[in-house]
Structures are given as structure tokens and as C-alpha cells.
Amino acid sequence: MRSTIRALSPTTINRIAAGEVIERPAAAVKELVENALDAGARRIEVILAGGGIDRMEVIDDGHGIPAAELPLAIERHATSKLTDDSLVEIATLGFRGEALPSIGAAARLTLISRPAGQAAAASITVAGGAVGPVRPAAGAAGTRAIVEDLFYATPARRKFLRTPRAEAEAAERAVWRLAMAAPRVAFRLVSDERVIFDLPGGDEAARLSALFGRETAASMLPLDAARDGAVLAGFAGPAGLSRATTVLQSFVVNGRPVQDPLLRLAVRLAYRDVIAAGRHPVVALTLTLPAEALDVNVHPAKTELRFADGNGVRSLVMGALARMLERPITLAQAPPVRPAFSLSPAPAPRPAARGFAEAELALLAPPSARQLPAPVPPPAEDEAAHPLGAPVAQILDTYILAVAADGALVIIDQHAAHERLTEERLRAEFAAGGIASQPLLVPVVVDLDVTAARRLAGQAEMLARLGLQIEPFGAGAILVRALPAALRQPDAAGLLRDLADELAEDATPRALEARLDAALARLACHRSIRAGRRLAPAEMDALLRAMEATPRAATCSHGRPTYLRLTRASLESMFGR
């Protein structure tokens, strides 16, 4: 049965567009804040309730909308920002005239606006696409946009929403990015009655300090570089500063916060050789390009870009970061000078308190294998039991060189190997009923940002199963009462920060099991002998024996190999014999 062709109603068109422009509350709040910035606001306040699904409100002190234009503001493809028909010179964040009608089609939207110099404000409401009359209203100079019951008119979209908590995080994150992009504008963000941040207008460095954390910002270095009319500025962390995820990476292109794959990749490549795999550098980069070198009209949400000269942009970013990373490190950061190569006999073991006791390593192994380490070197008949052989030297304080009974040369990555052992031990404890917890004599207070602190506090029950006892402590802090015993004395602040990053639901919504799994791997990382630590012969031997007794010891938790084996045959072929 064929139906006749007919034009869709404006309401249907707007609902379809809503699916693209505002796929979740974070996108709606982003559009409203962009409008406030485009209106020249000096101060923007965002109030969210229930992740922005129940209600969101954006208040600005910008130039406002005259009462006569309110009906146009919520009409599709009506904009004050494109003066002619050219899409080349776009100086504003918005330009498509789609956001307000899309929000009005999916929710109940009220605009209250008073242009500067006008005596009174006026309001208009559009609910599920039905537009009400313009009415006089009370209001300060500027604009107040109120969105209620987001997606009530588009139930299909509502079904795809995550928990209010996850939506709140994504929305807070969107405002965080815009606040990074507009440091001169004062921003206040309130979510479920908590003040997430309240920032005065200032310069880039002050904004960085407020949003990345004072300590982190203080260790970042300023950058600036230019190439073919493109100007790069901002701050980047030294190699030693890394996070578990890309949370502390901000990219702003021509005033617009973006999550552009080309820029992300350029940063990853620049740090590739100086940062551990699985860790992420900390950067806040601002790129300014001539309008014609950039197309922002790639996607309705405008978070993707197309660079006319992608290669040029990549080299600009990578070059500037490489020069920053090459700067001589200051004395305080410099590692102690050590010989690059040490052959047996290795230096005497360290005092037990700091050293890596062999009994402890033996404990890492599953119960069946809890026995004293094998003698060094292993006798020939032990060949099958000790495929990793006897340690003969430590190279670069990072790799253990061992010789197996069959003559094979084995090179072990001490950090990767130990990380896996710790993880397996934690897993075994977890499976056997719970990870042993060690109460702290004096509880530690760890300062985080409000979002991260709340995220951890919300996972307190799950973390307790991992041996970590925490409580919320004021707005942006967590009180740590106990830590997993297996971790000995980890740096509580670093551990909590990494866990908070790891548990961010914004990146990937995950089931409890997957989150436990990720958190376990994260814990293991905090109790692993680092690359760059010198090991005594007995410590090396204990590590190898524990590896042999541990399942999955051939790869670390990130899937990289923990050791390489060069057999006689492979050595001979390498030498062309």
C-alpha cells in the first residue's frame, strides 16, 4: 500500500533534527552556553537538575533578544549570526539556527530575555514543538533559557539516555570544556544543588589552574608556535605527568572546544616515546586558524572539524610538543645518575624496608606455588619448571636478563611482569571472598575536583569490595580510611585520581563487572615495581619464579608481552649463521 508523498510538518522536522543536534543533555547545555557566549556574555551560570534531563537553566548577561524576535529565535534555520549566505567566515559558535527549535521540539523550552537598555523582559515557551505567545516577564538584562523534561516529546530518544549520574557528568564535562575555551568569561556551574565550579573571568593560566587543578597546572609548561598563519598556544605537561585517561586534555580551535581525532593523535604521537603505554599526557591547547583553513560545518553538533591542511596542523602540534619535551629538565625532576648497564654481581640488596622482599614475591604466586625461590642458577633438570631461567643482569634498571637451561636468552620487563603478578593476586583474593583491606592509622584526605569526588563516593560500595574504604569529605575531597593490603603503601592521591578517571562513565558506560575489572587492573598498576628501580639478584629471581607460577604471566594487563625469549635458533638466524 503506497501513501502519497507529502512534506513533513515543522514539528516532525524539528524532532528529526533534535536527534542530531541534541542527542543527550550535554549537547543541549552546550548549545545554550554557546548561544550565551555568542551573545557576548561576561558571566554565565548553568544550573542542572537530574543530569539536565529534569531541568537545565542557562543564564547570561549578554545582549539579549528583542521581544519581537523571540518567535524567530525558536524557528528553524533562523539565526542572527550568518549575515550573508557565505559559510566561510564563521566567527560565532552557532550559525545553523537549529539548536533552539530542536530543543523546543523535544522538551519544554522557555526563553526569558531582556536586551540591554530595555525596560522589561519578555518570554516565550515552546513545548514539544507547540509555540506559545510572547508575554511580558520579569528578568535581568540578558537571557535565561530553561529546559524542562528533556526528550519527553521524543520517547525513543529518552530510552537511550544513561543514568542521570552519567548524563550529569557528561553535561558538566561539556560546560568544563566551554569554560576552558572562554577563560575571560565568568562561569558558575551547579549540578543537583552542588557548586561544581564558580570561576571569575581571568586569563588562560588562571582558568587552567582552576579546571586542571593547581598542582597539575603548576607543573605544565607554556607552548607557543606558528606555521602558515596557524597559531598554537597553551600548556602541556612534562613526560612525568600523566593520567589514566584523556580527561585532562582540552583542545580549543578558533574558540570552539573540540574533540578532534587529528589533534588527539598528534598529542599521542608526540608523547609516544616518553610516556608509558596506557597513560595519557595532560594538555590544554588552543589553535587559531584563518577561517578559510577550517570547516566547522561537518556535523550538526559542530564538535568535529575539517582542516584544509591536516598535515600542517599535525606538524605544528607535534613540533611544538617535541620542542617542549626536549627542554632540559630542571634539577628537581632529574633522575639520579646511574650506570646504564650493570652486570652480575649486582649491587647489594637494599634495606628490607624499601627492597622488594623475596618472601613477598613468593606470596604473589598462587598457593600451590608458594615455596622458596629456586636456587640460582636453576639446575638442568629444572628446565621445564623454570622456563624463564636464572637472572644474570639487570639492564637500564628496567629489564632483567636471564639465561634459561636450554641456553635461550630471556629478557623480562620488570614493571609489566610485576603488574601482572599483582593483578593476578588481587583477582585471586577477590575470587576468594574479598580483597584484604589495611586500615590507615591516620585517614588521608585526598583533594579532587567535585565531579571526580562525587563519582568515587558513588562507587564506595564497589570500591569497598576492592579493599578501599572511602567516604565523601566536603565538596571536592575524599577521606580514605583503608587501602588494599596487597598494595602496601600506595600514593593514595594518585590511586584515587586514577580510579576516578577509570570509572568515568562518560567515556564508556560499563556493567559493574567491567568496572571492577578495570579498577582491579588500575590498582595493580599502583603496586608495581617501576621501571627504573634497581633489583637485587634475589629479587630478580623471585620475580621470575613468581611469574612461572602465575597464570597469564606472559602478558601484562594491557596485553603487552612481559618477556621476550631469544632461543639459540633465533640468535643464530639474527647473526646469519
Q: Give contact residues for ligand ADP (rule: CB under 6 A).
A: 31, 35-36, 39, 60, 62-65, 73, 79-81, 94-100, 143
3-state helix, strand, coil in the chain (%, to 5): 35, 25, 40
φ, ψ for residue 512 (rounded to 5)? -55, -40
238 binds, among Mg ion, ligand ADP, none (CB under 5 to 8 A by kind): none
Distances (CA, A) of 193 to 4, 187, 197, 468: 51, 16, 12, 28
Residue nearest to ligand ADP (CB): 94
What's the grid cell of residue 442?
591516620
Q: What is the 3-state secondary structure (H, E, C) of 272-340?
A: CCCCCCCCEECEEEEEECCHHHEECCCCCCCCCCEECCHHHHHHHHHHHHHHHHHCCCCCCCCCCCCCC
35 binds Mg ion (CB under 5 A): yes
Taking the complex as a whole, the smallest distance from the CB of residue 45 to ligand ADP amounts, in Å, to 12
Our CB check for ligand ADP shows the closer of 96 and 243 to be 96
Our CB check for ligand ADP shows the closer of 95 and 430 to be 95
Taking the complex as a whole, the smallest distance from the CB of residue 54 to ligand ADP amounts, in Å, to 21
What's the grid cell of residue 128?
514539544
- What CA–CA distance (Å, rounded) separates 394 from 343? 7
Name which of 476, 404, 407 is nearest 447 in CA terms.
476
User: Is residue 377 reached through a cis peptide bond, with omega within 30 degrees of 0 on the bond before it?
Assistant: yes
Taking the complex as a whole, the smallest distance from the CB of residue 80 to ligand ADP amounts, in Å, to 3
Taking the complex as a whole, the smallest distance from the CB of residue 473 to Mg ion amounts, in Å, to 39
Binding Mg ion by CB under 5 A: which of 28, 67, 74, 99? 99
550 binds, among ligand ADP, Mg ion, none (CB under 5 to 8 A by kind): none
CB 249 within 8 A of CB 234: no
Q: Which span sits near Mg ion by CB under 5 A: 35-43, 134-142, 349-357, 453-461?
A: 35-43
Bridge partners of residue 137, in order along the sequence: 121
Our CB check for ligand ADP shows the closer of 64 and 476 to be 64
Pairing between strand 249-253 and 283-288? parallel
Our CB check for ligand ADP shows the closer of 143 and 469 to be 143
Distances (CA, A) of 117 to 59, 64, 69, 144, 185: 18, 10, 16, 17, 21
Our CB check for Mg ion shows the closer of 73 and 390 to be 73
Our CB check for Mg ion shows the closer of 94 and 537 to be 94
Our CB check for ligand ADP shows the closer of 111 and 535 to be 111
Q: Which span sits near Mg ion by CB under 5 A: 88-96, 109-117, 340-348, 531-539?
A: 88-96
Taking the complex as a whole, the smallest distance from the CB of residue 81 to Mg ion amounts, in Å, to 8
- What CA–CA distance (Å, rounded) separates 250 from 235? 10
427 binds, among Mg ion, ligand ADP, none (CB under 5 to 8 A by kind): none
- What CA–CA distance (Å, rounded) separates 525 from 422? 8
Binding Mg ion by CB under 5 A: which of 94, 257, 373, 484? 94
Taking the complex as a whole, the smallest distance from the CB of residue 238 to ligand ADP amounts, in Å, to 39
Our CB check for ligand ADP shows the closer of 98 and 502 to be 98
- What CA–CA distance (Å, rounded) separates 247 from 29? 19
CA-only gyration radius of the chain, Å:
29
Taking the complex as a whole, the smallest distance from the CB of residue 103 to ligand ADP amounts, in Å, to 8
CB 272 within 8 A of CB 326: no
Our CB check for Mg ion shows the closer of 73 and 535 to be 73
79 binds, among Mg ion, ligand ADP, none (CB under 5 to 8 A by kind): ligand ADP
62 binds, among ligand ADP, Mg ion, none (CB under 5 to 8 A by kind): ligand ADP
173 binds, among ligand ADP, Mg ion, none (CB under 5 to 8 A by kind): none
- Using CB under 5 A, list all residues that contact Mg ion: 35, 94, 99
